[in-house]
Amino acid sequence: MKIIAFAEQRNNQFKKTAFEVVRAAKTIADGLSAELVGVVIGGNVSPIAGELGKYGASRVIVVEDSRLQHYSTTAYAKVLAEVAQQESGQVIFLPASSLGKDLAPRVAVKLNAGLATDCTAVRVENGECVATRPVYAGKGLADVRITSPVKIFSLRPNVFSAGAPSGGTATIEGKNVVLTEADFTAAVKEVKASGGKKDVAEADIIVSGGRGLKGPEHFAMIEELASTLKAAVGASRAVVDAGWRPHEEQVGQTGKTVAPTLYIAVAISGAVQHLAGMSSSKYIVAINKDKDAPIFSIADYGIVGDAFEIVPAFSAELKKVLGK
Amino acid sequence: MKILVFVNHVPDTETKVKISADGKTIDPAGVNYMLNPYDEIAVEEGLKLREKSTGEVVVVSLGTDANKETLRKALAMGCDKAVALKDSSPRDSFGVARALADYAKEYSPDIILCGKQSIDYDDAQVGGMVAEMLGLPSISVVVKLDVADGAIVAEREIEGGHEIVHSKLPAVISAQKGLNQPRYPSLKGIMDAKRKPIEERVVAAIPPRVEVLAMKKPSPKPPGKIVGTDASAIPELVRLLHEEAKVI
């Protein structure tokens, strides 16, 4: 049996999720006594393919074409489906990243496969892969199995540990997939980076501000704290709707779902919809002057007090301790 | 322009989830339903496209009679016609996509709009699956959309930025928050909606490929530590984050 792990790359460098997905796929492959095959698609990716061997892939299939340098949904879907079919891959793992969530549904239809999106845990049970995935914005957790012969799971970024790279090596195989212009529908023409700001979806540490900050100008101290921690700035829905912060920063049910190592919620009450977006954070710090704010029910550490006093003190202490 | 919008009828965001006796679904008692927020953005985008050119916006939903409430909301916003695909059997995203794609194939729209995901199952699959079933281009998580002369320039959200994507019509666009600000139905819109047609069609059951074995609520976290009540607690907080949590 073969397990396929799609490793996402951008600009010919692996995303962190590539290693998370390969490592998670490896645990399932071991549990099913199956072979783990990594798949890399891109413009110039042979040089990096071997890295996947350090996370458990025994073989890596590389599909390289200058036309694949930029993501194109239908071209990538055709390639991944064809590779999976040729390998008779029965279980396919992808990251539940922007690209992964775009790619997986089309591959699922091509392979007539069921797809479980944004899984936060996978295990082998009764000889098959069973996944846990959040539903109702994380208010529920569903354990699911897939009934079709081919099963596809996308994994939530930053939840599965890639672990340390081992000394393992993989056999790299180049594969040619015939692609015509017709395969490149909806093509990416340009990528606009968010001006060097860290994206909440990928940050290890997030400092997030809410309506209790009383005005957009008070986000300056949030940005200062974030900068000291090399963190991303997040925002509650209220401040995004008020126009204080861009919606890319919104964390919550109608914003982004994040799972950083540390989430610092400043002047955020912790409405259910906000918690839905950040409750997977490994550690949560809450700073709020209302001791009954729901955020304290999920915070690991909290200070009940005035954010305007506490946040600058936090930055100052960190600069002292971290020697900045 | 023939604009087709997919909408879903979902538990509202205030819902306190209780697991029902079967251990696999949520208990619908006391749950208020709403038009899926991302689909509301798709409806708004459809209406804006119609305003820019001419044409009609048809809105489709799959489910039970209850879905008609959501269809009426979309009609009240200004959609021209609604279609209720009726089936109450268990269904996963693949099954939903199949029924919607079958309708879309018949209607043959110039553009299909839907939300990026439904806030009940959070699958984020229907848009892409429908596109694949119809052999159409798809662009997901769209925050900006320009349509002109049968071509699309869209901006989609990725980690750390945006991708600018070019495509031709017809295509399937799944909407992300930020694409537009949905209008509130006017009183006239609400009155008109009562008279707009909702076509009902029964669709065949499709057994789910994704089977829920069990659904549970996340285990509550053990209570955290309140470290203090003012800035004097900061050194202790920093110490805990460094030595106990080891995150800084």
CB–CB of A8/A14 below 8 Å? Answer: yes
What is the Cα–Cα distance from A13 to A7, expressed in whole angstroms? 10
Asked if B234's CB is within 8 angstroms of A310's CB, the reply is: yes
Give pLDDT, residue B12.
Answer: 92
pLDDT-above-90 percentage for chain B: 90
DSSP state of A199: P
What lies within 8 Å, CB to CB, of A3 at 6+ separation is: A25, A28, A29, A32, A34, A35, A36, A37, A89, A90, A91, A92, A93
Q: Which of A15, A105, A187 sits opposite B166 (nearest CB)?
A: A187
Question: Do A77 and B211 make contact, defined as CB atoms within 8 angstroms?
Answer: no
Q: Domains of chain A: which residue ranges?
A: 2-183, 200-321
Portion 225-244 of A in contact with B at CB < 8 A = 229
Name the amino acid, one letter, at A311: V
Q: Tell me how crowded residue B238 is: count the other CB atoms within 10 A of its CB.
A: 19
CB contact under 8 A, B227 and A137: no
* A16 touching chain B per CB within 8 A: no
Q: What is the pLDDT of residues B178-204, one digit of tens each?
A: 999 999 999 999 999 999 999 999 999
Give residue A112's pLDDT. Answer: 97
pLDDT at B15 over 90: no
CB A295 within 8 A of CB A266: no
B208, part of any domain: no
Locus of tokens 């959070």: B122
Q: Is B247 among the domain residues?
A: no
Give contacts of B 202-231 with A, CB under 8 A: 207-218, 220-221, 223-231
**What is the predicted pLDDT for the residue at B208?**
96
Architecture of domain A2-183: 3-Layer(aba) Sandwich (3.40)
Average pLDDT of the residues in A303-312: 96
Q: What is the 3-state secondary structure (H, E, C) of chain B?
A: CEEEEECCEEECCCCCCCECCCCCCECCCCCCEEECHHHHHHHHHHHHHHHHCCCEEEEEEEECCCHHHHHHHHHHHCCCEEEEEECCCCCCHHHHHHHHHHHHHHHCCCEEEEECCCCCCCCCCHHHHHHHHHCCCEEEEEEEEEEECCEEEEEEEECCEEEEEEEECCEEEEECCCCCCCCCCCHHHHHHHHHCCEEEEECCCCCCCEEEEEEECCCCCCCCEEEECCHHHHHHHHHHHHHHCCCC
Q: Contact B129/A143, CB-based, under 8 Å?
A: no
Residues of B in contact with A272 (CB under 8 A): 13-14, 16
A290 in contact with chain B, both atoms CB, cutoff 8 A? no
Question: Which residues does A254 contact at the CB level (< 8 Å), separation at least 6?
Answer: A237, A273, B13, B37, B38, B119, B177
Nearest by CB: A185 against B24, B167, B229: B167
Domain membership of residue B169 as a residue range: 2-202
Percent of chain A with pLDDT over 90: 90
What local confidence, expressed as pLDDT, does residue A272 receive? Answer: 87
Average pLDDT score, chain A: 95
Query: How much is the average pLDDT of A7-25?
Result: 97
Q: What local confidence, expressed as pLDDT, does residue B248 receive?
A: 86
Q: Measure A27 CA to nearest chain B CA, in Å.
A: 21
The Cα A305–Cα A242 span in angstroms is: 24
User: What is the number of residues in chain B?
Assistant: 248
Q: What is the CATH number of the domain that holds B36?
A: 3.40.50.620
Residue with tokens 């957790």: A141
Among the ranges given (A176-180, A195-199, A285-289, B9-13), the one the predictor scored with the smallest mean pLDDT: A195-199
The packing angle between helices B126-134 and B93-107, to 10°, is: 50
Locate the chain B residue with the closest alpha carbon to A204.
B247
Region A228-234: what's the mean pLDDT? 95
Per-position DSSP letters for A24-69, written without gaps between them: HHHHHHHHTT-EEEEEEEESS-HHHHGGGGGGT-SEEEEEE-GGGS
Per-residue pLDDT for A84 more than 60?
A: yes
Contact at CB, B165 and A187, closer than 8 angstroms:
yes
User: Using CB atoms, which residue from A116, A141, A310 is nearest to B231?
Assistant: A310
For residue A261, the chain B residues in CB contact (below 8 A) are 247
pLDDT, tens digit (0-9, with 9 covering 90-100), for B44-79 = 999 999 999 989 999 999 999 999 999 999 999 999
Distance to chain B for A115, nearest Cα, Å: 7
Whose tokens are 């530590």? That residue is: B225
ipTM of the complex: 0.94
Answer whether B131 touches A (CB < 8 Å).
Answer: yes
Mean pLDDT for the stretch of residues A302-314: 96
Q: With the C-alpha atoms ordered B41, B44, B50, B53, is the resulting torsion angle positive or negative?
A: negative
A135-172 tens-digit pLDDT: 998 889 999 999 999 999 999 998 999 999 998 999 99
Q: How confident is the model at residue A193 (pLDDT cuts 50, 70, 90)?
A: confident
Domains held by chain B: number: 1
In a mutagenesis test of the B interface, which of A125, A144, A257 is the best target, namely the one with the most B β-carbons within 10 Å?
Answer: A144
- The nearest CA of chain A is from the CA of B186 a distance in Å of 21
Please give the span between the terminal C-alpha atoms of chain A, in angstroms, as a whole number.
53
Instruction: Indicate the pLDDT class of residue A119, thresholds 50, 70 and 90.
Output: very high
Contact B238 A98 (CB under 8 A): no
Phi, psi of A143 (to 5 degrees): -90, 125
Q: Which member of B37, B156, B165 has the closest CB to residue A254? A: B37
Least-confidence region, from A277-281, B65-69, B111-115:
A277-281
User: Taking residues A6-27, what's their average pLDDT?
Assistant: 97
A229 to A206, A265, A308: CA distances (angstroms): 9, 14, 18
User: What average pLDDT does chain B have?
Assistant: 95
Instruction: Note the CATH architecture for domain A200-321.
Output: 3-Layer(aba) Sandwich (3.40)
pTM: 0.92
* Residue recorded with tokens 């299939």: A61
Strand partners, A153: A93, A116
pLDDT band for position A324 (cuts 50, 70, 90): low
- Both structure tokens of B234: 């900061």
- Cα separation, A59 vs A292, in Å, equals 54
Contact between chains at B229 and A192 (C-beta distance less than 8 A):
no
A88: helix, strand or coil = coil
Cis peptide leading into B170, omega within 30 of 0? Answer: yes
User: Which token pair is A188?
Assistant: 């990416």
How many Å lie between the alpha carbon of B67 and the closest alpha carbon of chain A?
18
- For chain B, positions 70-89, list CB contacts with chain A under 8 A: none
What is the pLDDT confidence band of residue B239, given thresholds at 50, 70 and 90?
A: very high
**Across the interface, which of B122, B209, B238 has its CB nearest the CB of A135?**
B122
pLDDT number for residue A220: 97
**Interface test with chain A among B12, B125, B162, B166, by most A beta carbons within 10 Å:** B125
Q: For residue B4, is pLDDT > 80?
A: yes
Q: How far is B197 from chain A (nearest CA, A)?
A: 31
Kind of pairing, strands A89-95 and A151-155? Answer: parallel
| B234 assigned to some structural domain | no
Closest CA to A22 of B239, B131, A9: A9
Cβ-nearest to B227 among A187, A302, A306: A302
CA distance A270 to A61: 45
Sign of the dihedral through C-alpha A49, A185, B122, A107: negative
Is the distance from CB of A248 to CB of A200 less than 8 angstroms?
yes
Selected for mutation to probe chain A from B13, B162, B239 (highest A CB count within 10 Å) is B13
Task: Name the residue facing B160 among A193, A286, A317 (closest C-beta).
Answer: A193
For testing contact with chain B, the best of A147, A250, A280, A301 (most B CBs within 10 A): A301
Q: Does A200 touch chain B (CB under 8 A)?
A: no
Is the CB of A282 inside 8 Å of chain B's CB atoms? Answer: yes
Please tell me the predicted confidence (pLDDT) of residue A6: 98
Q: Which two tokens stand for residue A161?
A: 């540990």
- In this complex, is the C-beta atom of B135 within 8 Å of any C-beta atom belonging to chain A? no
CB A30 within 8 A of CB A170: no
